[in-house]
Structure 1
Amino acid sequence: MTRIGAKPSTVSSPARKQAPTRGAGTSRWFASVWDSPLTSYYMVVGSSAMLIVFGLVMVLSSSSIEALADGESVFAEFLKQGMYVVVGLALMLVASRIPIAAYMRLTGVILVASFLMQMLIFTPLARGKGGNTNWVHIAGPVTIQPSEFIKIALALWLGFVMYHKRDQLNDVRAAIFPAVPVIFLALLLVVAGNDLGTAGILMLLAAGALFVAGIPLRVFVVAATGFATFAVAYVLVASNRISRIKAWLGHDDVSDPQGLNYQTKHGLWGLGSGGITGVGLGASRQKWSYLPEAHNDFIFAIIGEELGLLGTVAVLLLFAALGLGMIRIIRRHDNMMARVTTAAIACWIIGQALINIGVVIGFLPVIGVPLPLISSGGSALISTMLALGVVIQFARTEPGAAELLRTRPSVVRKSVSVIAHSVRTGLPTRSNKKGRS
């Protein structure tokens, strides 16, 4: 009994002392997950996988009508894209298992091979599309776009060069040679095929690599000024390019509804008609031969029309997760080549995604770059998946990640071990138990 007039006890019970609040427990759990060496790995793998699967679904939806109009199966483009995904997954798996030391030995060979492939656009094997001559015929219906593979080759090579120049970065001349001349050569080969869009992506890629390496900022100012000057001159020498810029600025001929802004207008109409939740998967109106390149450069417009604002935000969040995973690798990895190459690939993939979306919403003029991992196209998809395989290798070798991966056996390995143990001991597996009950 409590004595009258005595003060109530202020000592809490042991159980009350040890009971954490729900918010504190959640914050501690989030902090432990965020600080885990495997977080970068899971972010890159998870977001890449979801973007690839989402891309397959949207390619099927956006290409079915055009395929039917061409007398093909509604699954024609989807099956072709699925084949590219299988090839990309195989290369992605191989790239994720190659040690960094092997990449350092192979970067020069890979770069020279990509340049030689690009030089095939000056041969009779070259093929053109939309004013660009950046495709090379291989055999039958198979063509490749070599400029897509220059991206991954240049990213690896810049990582290799900056690794060996890491003690000379304060000396501008020593730091930029031979990086800048090789970047200039890559741009020259791509622009020779009239592909200014890919050249712009290469500039982003190179800028990301050099920035993370620690090149002085005045180099970027000079490079940006030079590229801007070249881009203006490139536009002014051709009347059709001037017309496109004028149309983008709002000076198109309103009496010509099929004019240069036709594609942009229909892309915006598709996005606008989607609303919050969209008109439904497969129910797009623009893909009925109204919107050119609906399954390729303008697939984001179909996403907005069919899945609405929610669908477009989901795509942006997936790219944000992918970018954040790569930023973690840049900040946490202890190898200079891994950091620089990851930065180059991050600026390539995320930058290209933002440029593509900017074109679709009318913020940028039409320059013909696909939405990474989502748009239809073999060379772009395979090269992007190959680059992500390299990034996954870097995530696997982030300090502490390799040890954790070795202590976490795969699902397949767990299943095999359970079945093997059951066979040895004669004990029924869980599935057999269910069957007997």
Structure 2
Amino acid sequence: MKKSQVKPARRPSASQVSTATPSLASLASRWFDKVFRAQSIHFYRLLGVTLFLVTFGVVMVLSASSIDSLVANNNSFSVFGKQSFFAVVGLGVMALVSLMSTSFIRSKAKVLLVGAMLLQVAVIFIGKDINGNRNWLDFGLFAIQPSEFLKIAVILFVASYLAQQSDYLHDRAVWVRALVISGAAAGLVMLGRDLGTVIIMGITFVGMLILAGMPQKLINLVVVVLAVALPLAIMSSGSRMGRITAWMNPNAPDPFEYNWQSEHGMWALAAGRIFGAGLGESKMKWSWIPEVENDFIFAVIGEELGLIGALVVIILFVFLAFAFLRIMQRTQDDFSRIVVSAVMLWIVFQALVNIAVVLRLLPVLGVPLPLISAGGSSLVANLGAIGVVLAIERENHANPYQERRKPGRRR
């Protein structure tokens, strides 16, 4: 009987090895395809409006800050240069985040929340006071406002928590824990006396929980708590109380000039009329409105670009809201849906509050106009949040949601 001959195993050829192991060129090709693959119209709508608002904001910051920058630094472009730098950084962050998977973003939510909380605690002890608010950490070359990044950290963590507890949303304890996390974040910011930021956080977090399905009884309880807490927060500060009183009585004597910004903001809007005085031709920016490139930049927009320019800005934010809303309707999971709704509430309502302050419909709250006002932390945080929404829409486009037809219903 002959023994069977065993053939030695053949080594794979070089071409087979290169096929089995992805080459650098193939990896680069996949990355290029992921970055530049055509996306949905909703992706490009959100991206286009965002890019336009950021570009427009940088131009308006240059116009609004040129005089104060010249007086303070002997350089008309100092504030513009900083804003341009933060715009580039923010757009880079937005692009990078938009390439991440939602599962990866969700996995880092807890780390982001802990880090943002620690930074906000540090503000209480070593923070820098600006205009009576302690809400900044000064690192010498630059200062950051941790509360802006705390907003997106809370949104991501609470959204992840609610999505994880989706089978137990009937349990009141689930919603109470979400409220405690949100309230703790807002409370840390309130310790720095920044009521304007706390109001935006309250609108964002409570609105997020309501849209996520929080029970009506808890909603009523939260409304009662806020109705009691807000007047107490106002009365805890003499300057806050003075601003509220001056806003409610605009014709009363104003020895502390609480209405100075509001009055000159209205004068700027009135001077702009319908077509505006022209880009760069504002008179109120000549030190008549303190730090006009921040909270009152909408007044300069109205003065230089007129009613038409102001209405265009408002319409762009409405368009931005519809872009968010359409993406939210296309999402396939609870986490993504909650995140998109919260980012929409944050950016759109902050814009409305800022514009309402300039129009004297609200007292001065110190809230910037998103994507337009000067301020690096606000701009980078807003663009980072929009990057998360773009990442969600990338996955929506890659995995289109197929609506199930109900039996017996025509379309």
TM-score under structure 1 length normalisation: 0.80
After TM superposition, give the deviation of residue 322 of structure 1 in Å.
1.0
After TM superposition, give the deviation of residue 105 of structure 1 in Å.
1.1
- Secondary structure of the residue aligned to 1:102 is helix
CA distance in 1: counterparts of 2:150 and 2:209, whole angstroms: 17
- Secondary structure of the residue aligned to 1:123 is helix
Tell me if the contact between 2:68 and 2:287 (Cα under 8 Å) persists in the aligned partners.
yes
Aligned counterpart in structure 2 of residue 322 of structure 1, from 320, 323, 342? 320
In structure 2, the partner of 1:352 is 350
Tell me if the contact between 2:250 and 2:259 (Cα under 8 Å) persists in the aligned partners.
no
Tell me if the contact between 1:39 and 1:325 (Cα under 8 Å) persists in the aligned partners.
no
Q: Any unmatched runs of 5+ in structure 2?
A: 1-37, 401-411
CA distance in 1: counterparts of 2:176 and 2:197, whole angstroms: 23
CA distance in 1: counterparts of 2:79 and 2:64, whole angstroms: 9
In structure 1, the partner of 2:361 is 363
Deviations, residues 391-413 of structure 1 (Å, cap 9, x unaligned) = 11111111xx1279xxxxxxxxx
> Counterpart amino acid of 1:158?
V
> Is residue 133 from structure 1 mapped to residue 134 from structure 2 by the alignment?
yes
Aligned counterpart in structure 1 of residue 286 of structure 2, from 272, 285, 288? 288
CA 76–38 in structure 1, closer or farther in 2 if over 3 Å, else same = same
After TM superposition, give the deviation of residue 37 of structure 1 in Å.
8.0
CA distance in 2: counterparts of 1:272 and 1:178, whole angstroms: 48
In structure 1, the partner of 2:19 is none
After TM superposition, give the deviation of residue 122 of structure 1 in Å.
2.6
In structure 2, the partner of 1:217 is 216
Aligned counterpart in structure 1 of residue 303 of structure 2, from 296, 305, 325? 305
- Secondary structure of the residue aligned to 2:168 is coil
In structure 1, the partner of 2:248 is 249
Tell me if the contact between 2:201 and 2:346 (Cα under 8 Å) persists in the aligned partners.
yes
> Counterpart amino acid of 2:52?
M
CA distance in 2: counterparts of 1:39 and 1:214, whole angstroms: 29
Deviations, residues 104-144 of structure 1 (Å, cap 9, x unaligned) = 211111100000011111333x1001110000112x23111
After TM superposition, give the deviation of residue 161 of structure 1 in Å.
1.1
> Is residue 379 from structure 1 mapped to residue 381 from structure 2 by the alignment?
no
- Secondary structure of the residue aligned to 2:129 is strand
> Counterpart amino acid of 1:362?
R
CA distance in 2: counterparts of 1:75 and 1:135, whole angstroms: 23
> Counterpart amino acid of 1:113?
G
CA distance in 1: counterparts of 2:154 and 2:240, whole angstroms: 28
Tell me if the contact between 2:282 and 2:300 (Cα under 8 Å) persists in the aligned partners.
yes
After TM superposition, give the deviation of residue 276 of structure 1 in Å.
0.8
> Counterpart amino acid of 1:164?
Q
In structure 1, the partner of 2:99 is 97
Q: Any unmatched runs of 5+ in structure 1?
A: 1-35, 405-437
In structure 1, the partner of 2:156 is 156
CA 206–255 in structure 1, closer or farther in 2 if over 3 Å, else same = closer
Q: After TM superposition, list the pairs within 5 Å mapping 1:58-77 onto structure 2.
A: 58-77=60-79
> Counterpart amino acid of 1:144?
I
In structure 1, the partner of 2:271 is 273
Tell me if the contact between 2:70 and 2:76 (Cα under 8 Å) persists in the aligned partners.
yes
Tell me if the contact between 1:252 and 1:259 (Cα under 8 Å) persists in the aligned partners.
no
After TM superposition, give the deviation of residue 240 of structure 1 in Å.
2.6
CA distance in 2: counterparts of 1:236 and 1:337, whole angstroms: 38
> Counterpart amino acid of 1:402?
A
> Is residue 169 from structure 1 mapped to residue 169 from structure 2 by the alignment?
yes
After TM superposition, give the deviation of residue 329 of structure 1 in Å.
1.5
Aligned counterpart in structure 1 of residue 110 of structure 2, from 93, 108, 112? 108
In structure 1, the partner of 2:12 is none
After TM superposition, give the deviation of residue 224 of structure 1 in Å.
2.0
> Counterpart amino acid of 1:178?
R
CA 177–240 in structure 1, closer or farther in 2 if over 3 Å, else same = closer
CA distance in 1: counterparts of 2:234 and 2:203, whole angstroms: 19
- Secondary structure of the residue aligned to 2:166 is coil
Deviations, residues 32-54 of structure 1 (Å, cap 9, x unaligned) = xxxx9813212210110110000
CA distance in 2: counterparts of 1:78 and 1:150, whole angstroms: 26
After TM superposition, give the deviation of residue 69 of structure 1 in Å.
1.5
Deviations, residues 146-168 of structure 1 (Å, cap 9, x unaligned) = 00100110111121011112222
CA distance in 2: counterparts of 1:250 and 1:66, whole angstroms: 30
Tell me if the contact between 1:93 and 1:389 (Cα under 8 Å) persists in the aligned partners.
yes
TM-score under structure 2 length normalisation: 0.85
- Secondary structure of the residue aligned to 1:70 is helix
Tell me if the contact between 1:246 and 1:252 (Cα under 8 Å) persists in the aligned partners.
no
> Counterpart amino acid of 1:54?
F
In structure 1, the partner of 2:206 is 207
Tell me if the contact between 2:246 and 2:254 (Cα under 8 Å) persists in the aligned partners.
no
CA 225–403 in structure 1, closer or farther in 2 if over 3 Å, else same = closer
Deviations, residues 287-325 of structure 1 (Å, cap 9, x unaligned) = 000011210000000000000111111111111111111
Tell me if the contact between 1:270 and 1:304 (Cα under 8 Å) persists in the aligned partners.
yes
Tell me if the contact between 1:207 and 1:344 (Cα under 8 Å) persists in the aligned partners.
no
CA distance in 2: counterparts of 1:237 and 1:193, whole angstroms: 12
In structure 1, the partner of 2:225 is 226
In structure 2, the partner of 1:412 is none
After TM superposition, give the deviation of residue 184 of structure 1 in Å.
1.4
In structure 2, the partner of 1:402 is 398
CA distance in 1: counterparts of 2:250 and 2:352, whole angstroms: 25
- Of 218-227 and 378-387, deviating more is 218-227
In structure 2, the partner of 1:11 is none
CA distance in 2: counterparts of 1:395 and 1:94, whole angstroms: 14
